[in-house]
Amino acid sequence: MVALTARLRPVQAKIRHGIATGRSHTGCCLYFDLERDNPRGSKIMIIGRVNPAHTLETQGISGLGSVYYNLLEPAIIQQAIERGEGTLGKGGAFMTTTGKYTGRSPKDKHVVKTADVVDTIWWDNNAAMSPEGFDALYEDMIAHMKGRDYFVQDLFGGADPAHRLDVRMVTELAWHNLFIRHLLRRPEPAELETFAPEFTVINCPTFKADPERHNCRSDTVIAMNFERKLILIGGTEYAGENKKSIFTLLNYLLPAKGIMPMHCSANHAIDNPVDSAVFFGLSGTGKTTLSADPGRTLIGDDEHGWSERGIFNFEGGCYAKTINLRREAEPEIYDTTSKFGTVIENMVFDPNTFDLDFDDDSLTANMRCAYPLEYISNASDTALGGHPKNIIMLTCDAFGVLPPIARLTPAQAMYHFLSGFTSKVAGTERGVTEPEPTFSTCFGAPFMPRRPEVYGDLLRSKIAENGSTCWLVNTGWTGGAYGTGSRMPIKATRALLTAALNGNLGTCEFRRDPNFGFDVPVACQGVDDSLLDPRTTWADAAAYDAQAAKLVSMFSDNFAQYVPFIDDDVKACAIG
């Protein structure tokens, strides 16, 4: 890195000279005077390409140190390394750790209770913050930022130009800027010159919130203010908070336009975007893995919208779990870990060879890599698809009760969508160290600002309008519960999904499951028949029956909260 830095210094000098004199050089545009004092007595340095009518100063954020606008990947990585934020790995990947927090902090997310949203937010699921608390939080965070350097990316949330959101991300850490540049959609250079942010996210990990003054829970805070069009993140270095804040934002805004926001991955048949499929599921259920099928074109791995035109990716990259990752099983994702600019988060590596250890979870089981979508060879250029022919609801059943696949009626699909049964996988949230069975409505409760029925009704109407076939797929345990059984073989899951997506599974013989009432295939080519009847995989059938009864009771108890809000056909297929 010493030699590289030395070679870059003359270029940096030219760029800085161009900025100071108002001339343009490669990767840099200047639109305003830089000669301003900051509180530390030095001159502010502003580097990069930005719409002069929409700088941070025009937003009322002034007195910062150097501000870096819309840097490209090489420049961001250089800044991150010079600031000691991480290490350059094989192939130019950037390796870093996130300190105290290696997962999301869902209990520290807040929505500001302003008049424009007070009647539409699901307050049972979203912690409220007073407007006064937010105003104090913003004032204190901006004061904390004075004199410090910040990195800005102007990006799109959404691949469909008709429905995308213009978002500004302001980050204290350079590598967070790299991360979010991968994860959201990148404007063309010419689009930056007229870019006007609709919402701004400020992420300042060194800022600690004051629960009493700021009306929050702890010194970590994620606060969303729809009235002021601001999201403030403080006290955590975990990069996933950046992308999930935008997802939460879109989950609130899009339903008002009749668009279904979905916590799902998506793909389509090669050369046939009309034959698309979506895969709902929480982290650890296989959304990324199963959608990255070499026999289909990848639209995206985590967040999508379903509009009147079809489906579209919210993002421009992927954020994949890497624990126990193997090239033999997932070659495309594995190879991204040694590509230029990929962010390697919380992975142990050999300090001499820089080889990554995919099995060492001493930092966290939630180790990840973030990379642009184009690093997957079969990724869609447009990130758009038609109305999905198949809807897959992924669950990770730690009880070992559910079959590997089941076909759902539209009413059953809404039931399971509202139930959102799965297991939290170790590391994805603070304090989760082993699989924990849970119900996460809409397969994404932490990111749902509106009541679940809003999303359920949208999904149901989309299914009815487009005739989508729905499937429940269990990627969890078979042969027993967690601790006794084993994870569902991924080869079997892939075989079942392939048969479902190409239509072959629909022609098979099915049986009615006695516990859950859905239809289960009795055979599928390439899959052991015993896997399709989970009771037969248990050594003790009576123990299976007891476990199944327990899960049915959990479903029934959980679903009681939705009964007053649903139609009779959904009530009729309720379990228990």
User: Which residues are known catalytic residues?
Assistant: 104, 244, 263, 283, 287-288, 302, 368
What's the maximum distance between 2 C-alpha atoms anywhere in the chain?
80
Q: Of all helices (H) and strands (E), which one includes residue 462?
A: helix 452-466
Task: Tell me whether strands 150-157 and 67-69 are parallel, antiparallel or unpaired.
Answer: parallel
CA distances from 337 to 304, 328, 437 (A): 24, 14, 30
- The whole-angstrom separation of Cα 576 and Cα 548 is 11
Measured in degrees and rounded to the nearest 5, phi and psi for residue 199 equal -130, 150
Q: Tokens 């600690």 belong to which residue?
A: 208
Asked whether the beta carbons of 362 and 427 are under 8 A apart, the reply is no
Tokens of 20: 């100071």
Q: Measure the CA–CA gap between 196 and 174, rounded to whole angstroms.
A: 22
What whole-number distance in Å separates Cα of residue 418 and Cα of residue 459?
10
Nearest CA-CA partner of 391 in 447, 334, 473, 486: 473
Contact 15, 27 (CB under 8 A): yes
What token pair was written down for 161?
């130009």
Give Rg (Cα) of the chain.
24
Residue type at 522? V
CB 180 within 8 A of CB 152: no
